[in-house]
Chains A and B, each alone.
Chain A
Amino acid sequence: MEHTGTLERILRAVALTLVVVFFMFPILWIFLMSFQTNETILRVPPSMVFEPTLANYKALITGKLETNAASIEINFLRNLWNSVFLSVTSVSLALLLGVPAAYAFARHKFKGSEDIAFTLLSFKFAPPLLVLLPLSLYFQKMGLADTYIGLIWVYQLICLPLILWIVRGYFEDISPDIEYAYRIAGHSWFATFRKIALPLAGPGIAAAGLLAFIFAWNNFIFALVLASADKQPVTVGALAFVTASGIQYGQIAAAVVMSITPTLALALYAQRYLVEGLSLGAVKG
């Protein structure tokens, strides 16, 4: 029995290592690329040995991209700020709208409530390209094209369904009697929502918010079509490194490292909530 146990442990360790290498290697390679020049990146065969340089990061921070042919102005830090602003604002708004809505769907069954909840979820089913053309036309007519408000609005398509469905599962998991006990002790339903339901669903709300933040941060297509360069996030901003004189792999790698750092840090910090929230959402949703 003990022998089987050891063998099992070894096999499990090997399998886990393979999985980790498979998923982590691209990130490691990009991290290494970000400290190399285009020449060392493109050499054949590739090598792990190189002389590290901070030139790529310097180019991003100073906004001057030196290519073989010319010097190009880029505004990567602006893109980074746009990403932070758009993601934080969109998620905040989605939490503000989605959490009370999730509570309502969890606690108050009314005619058509399931249909409404499902319609909101169905926003996630539709491919973004399907809605982009009508959206861009509407946005131009409404003066929302190339505005932060327009982008934040359209980002609700990404954030709101996620938050609604994950948080709804959490609220449904809390016994209504806990809230009744609080209400009967002399509190209004709103006080009960704030003091009992919200804190108890805290981990779920955190997980949903985190996930929505990652999805919003990673969005590419909406900002590509609906915003111009000064409103675009890093995912679109990275296109600037595809220049007439070639693809600037080093700068792209540095941009990727800088753009994934906030979400990676956030995910690592709150991974326990994320796993809990996702698994509960999967079961309940």
Chain B
Amino acid sequence: MSDHILSLSGVDKFYGRVNQGVHAVKKLDMDVRSGEIVALLGSSGCGKTSTLRMIAGFEEVSRGVITLGGQTINRLPPVRRGVAMAFEGYSLYPPLSVRDNIAFALKSSSYSATQISDKVNEIASMLEITDILDRYPSSISGGQQQRASLGRALIRDAKLHLLDEPMGQLEPQLRALLRGRIKHFIKTRGLTAILVTHDQAEANALADRIAVMEDGTLQQLDTPEAIKDRPANLFAGTFIGEPPMNVFTAQVTVSDSHVHFSLPDDVTFTFETMDFSPAVLDAIRHRTHLVLGVRPYAVRRAPSGVSATVAVNQWLGDQSHIAADFAGSSIVLVEHDRAPVSRGESIQLHIDPANLHLFDHTNGRAMSHGPNLAI
């Protein structure tokens, strides 16, 4: 029994000939549950928009199967898929006013004119565009066009709402306000949505689950918390989180009582074996090298520990970002108070093993998160 409304299995997208053209999406397996918001998150060219367009029906699926509501939609034209979409480039109809653009998709529905008008007003009020409803796309700003485009998609009763970078053009304050409202709107109506974004704050705020993509491959699909706490691989670990996770390649030695991680410049982290589960110890015992990952907020200044030299200390208004020269590269730590350290100063660093992530140094796969083995 599955409550998945959308399912992608083994989906490939080639631009050009199969196996010869640009391989934009690689063997993508992904399910979206009914009433869920999933964010496709990744840098430019990672395949997230191609995935969205294949779901919408604007791009052909080179290989694999997409099902929506239990029906295979690979060959179904967009008109028969029952999806709504907000486009990154807005794509409003130039000859229609904002009001008519938003109402357009409902014109052929069974709603009465009054119902359509009420729905438009409700959406416009949510998106703060009530005052421009009678204006034309050419006379409004990019941010207003984007909200109108979003309204045009959200107003529809569709099986699935696809939102391509829906808030990229908005002011930060408005973006923060609308994130909450849009999420509330989607959730209270039980809509299912896929959101494409390269902004992890947007993905974290809106999505129930995030699909992290890189180079056409799905790196991890999980809740924002799980991706942050238990990244599946080095890419997911370093891509999610601001500032990014600190990573160091280290030589590992496991003795009966201690685990030593030796970094360049004679820097060594030593932890007790009891800090790790037996499974983790078994996994790392025969390794020579590993990649250590630690999030900036988990690095602490302490009276004693490993030494680093402060290179930059920036106060961002609500937190200090300290970058320090460390083990032949640099390490970043975040403190929530103004840190009284300055450039050139020597500091001692402590890392709690509960916050340590270990990755396979050959393929980047996560081996452990804190004391536990990565699954």
Contacts and interface: CB of A to CB of B under 8 A. Distances in A.
Interface of A: 175, 177-178, 180-189, 196, 199-200
Interface stretch (B35-43, B81-89, B221-229, B244-252): B81-89
A177 B83 CA distance: 15
Given A186-B108, A196-B93, A199-B95, A181 B85 contact: yes
B68 to A, nearest CB: 13
B271 interface: no
A184 B152 CA distance: 11
Nearest to B84: A184
B91 A175 contact: yes
Nearest to A191: B79
Contact of A187 (B79, B87, B91, B94): B79
Contact of A177 (B77, B89, B104): B89
A180 B58 contact: yes
A183 B85 CA distance: 10
A199 B95 CA distance: 9
B93 A182 contact: yes
A175 B94 CA distance: 11
Contact of B105 (A175, A178, A185, A200): A185
Contacts of A199: 95
Contacts of A186: 79, 105, 108
Contacts of A183: 77-79
Nearest to A199: B95
B321 interface: no
B156 A181 contact: no
A259 B72 CA distance: 62
B73 interface: no
Name the prevailing secondary structure of the B interface residues: loop
20 contacts: A175-B89, A177-B87, A177-B89, A177-B90, A177-B91, A180-B56, A180-B78, A180-B87, A181-B85, A181-B152, A182-B93, A183-B77, A183-B79, A184-B57, A184-B79, A184-B84, A185-B84, A185-B104, A185-B156, A200-B94
A181 B89 CA distance: 11
A200 to B, nearest CB: 7
Given A178-B93, A180-B91, A184-B79, 13 more contacts: A177-B90, A177-B91, A180-B85, A181-B87, A181-B92, A181-B152, A183-B78, A184-B57, A185-B84, A186-B79, A186-B105, A196-B93, A200-B94
Nearest to B105: A185
A121 to B, nearest CB: 25
Nearest to A187: B79
B53 to A, nearest CB: 8
A177 B84 CA distance: 13
A13 B83 CA distance: 59
A183 B57 CA distance: 10
Interface in B137-159: 149, 152, 156
A203 to B, nearest CB: 12
Ranked 5 nearest A-B pairs via Cβ:
A177-B91, A185-B105, A177-B87, A181-B91, A178-B91
Contacts of B81: 184
A184 B91 contact: no
A197 to B, nearest CB: 11
Interface in B48-65: 56-58
B162 to A, nearest CB: 8
Nearest to A176: B58
Contacts of A181: 85, 87, 91-93, 149, 152
A178 B56 CA distance: 14
Contacts of B104: 185
Contacts of B149: 181
A178 B145 CA distance: 13
A188 B77 CA distance: 8
Contacts of A189: 77
Nearest to A195: B93
Contact of B78 (A175, A178, A184, A196): A184
A184 B77 CA distance: 9
A223 to B, nearest CB: 40
A9 B81 CA distance: 61
Contacts of B84: 184-185
Contacts of B56: 180, 184
Nearest to B101: A181
B210 to A, nearest CB: 24
Nearest to A178: B91
A193 B87 CA distance: 19
Most chain B beta-carbon contacts within 10 A, residue among A175, A177, A188, A200: A177
A177 B152 CA distance: 13
A17 B78 CA distance: 57
A113 B56 CA distance: 26
Contacts of B90: 177
A178 to B, nearest CB: 4
Interface in B96-125: 104-105, 108
B85 A184 contact: yes
Contacts of A185: 84, 104-105, 156
B236 to A, nearest CB: 30
A188 B80 CA distance: 9
Contacts of A177: 87-91
Contacts of A196: 93
A200 B94 CA distance: 8
A178 B152 CA distance: 12
A161 to B, nearest CB: 28
A177 B81 CA distance: 17
Contact of A188 (B79, B91, B105): B79
Nearest to B58: A180
Nearest to B87: A177
Most chain A beta-carbon contacts within 10 A, residue among B84, B87, B104: B87
A181 B101 CA distance: 10
A3 B57 CA distance: 62
